[in-house]
Structure 1
Amino acid sequence: MAFTFPKKEKLRNKRTIDRLFKEGQSVSVYPLKLIYLNITIPAEAKIQTAVAVPKSNFKSAVKRNRVKRLMRESYRQNKQYIFNNMEGNFAFLFLYLGKDMPTYAVVEKSMLTIFKKLVKRLSDEKVAE
């Protein structure tokens, strides 16, 4: 799988984002939180992803954009773990919960831990069914 983040994998549908906040489940590893929802996406992409950084934590748009860029880059580099270990279509929303500017290493470590927790949770749910 190529390490890309094409437009079809970006979550842009407002209704889906609203559903994520209302119905979605979450996995947290400080400073990241993943809200996910199993949805039916037209056969474009297996997973659609969005990232968000609260304005209350970072007043400067430049700083918010930097954190979002780090999160997207970390997702792009490590998404093959999710694609290889999950079945079904999902909508993901990554939230940055920290109040200080992170390094890429911190974001990547949290992202990998979230992926591992998510895969474990989904496999446990599948076994329980």
Structure 2
Amino acid sequence: MKFTLGKKERLKSKKLIEQLYAEGKSIKVFPFRMVFLQVQHTSDFPCQVGFSVPKRNFKLAVSRNRIKRLMRETYRLQKNIVYDKVDKPYVFMISYIGREEMSYQELYFKTKKLLELFIEKTKK
């Protein structure tokens, strides 16, 4: 498995994002909130993912972009946790709900916990 996060793996469809927030289920592991939905999508990959950081908590675009970059990197390195266990196609959006930036190591650990919790929820 390649540890890349290409264009086909990212959630870009406005229709899917609207459907995700309207019908999706949510889980939280501070400082992350994941909204996920089992739905057919156009990608060959089992999951499509999007990342968001609210402007309300981080006024400067530089800060928001840095957090999104760290979130993408931690997900990219750990996506095999999800890909090995998931058999149906999913879309999910990971939002940063914290009010201050965390270190890369903390985000890595929290992302791992979030993905494991996602696997638990989808297996039920």
TM-score normalised to structure 2 length: 0.96
Instruction: Confirm whether residue 36 of structure 1 aligns to residue 36 of structure 2.
Output: yes
Alpha-carbon shift at residue 109 of structure 1 (Å): 1.1
Q: For residues 21-57 of structure 1, give each alpha carbon's deviation from its aligned partner in whole angstroms, at most 9, with x where no partner exists.
A: 1111011000001110101012522111100000000
TM-score normalised to structure 1 length: 0.93
> For this pair of structures, how many residues does the alignment match?
124
Residues 68-79 of structure 1: matches in 2 within 5 Å? 68-79=68-79
Amino acid in the other structure paired with 2:30: Y
1:91 alignment partner, SS class: strand
1:88 alignment partner, SS class: coil
Alpha-carbon shift at residue 75 of structure 1 (Å): 0.4
Any conservation in 1 of the 2:51–2:71 contact (CA below 8 Å)? yes
Instruction: Tell me the residue number matched to 1:90.
Output: 90
Partners of 2:60 and 2:32 in 1: CA distance: 19
Q: What is the CA RMSD across the aligned residues, in angstroms? A: 0.9
Amino acid in the other structure paired with 2:123: S
**Which 5+ residue runs of structure 2 have no aligned equivalent?**
none
Runs of 4+, deviation exceeding 6 Å: none
Alpha-carbon shift at residue 9 of structure 1 (Å): 0.4
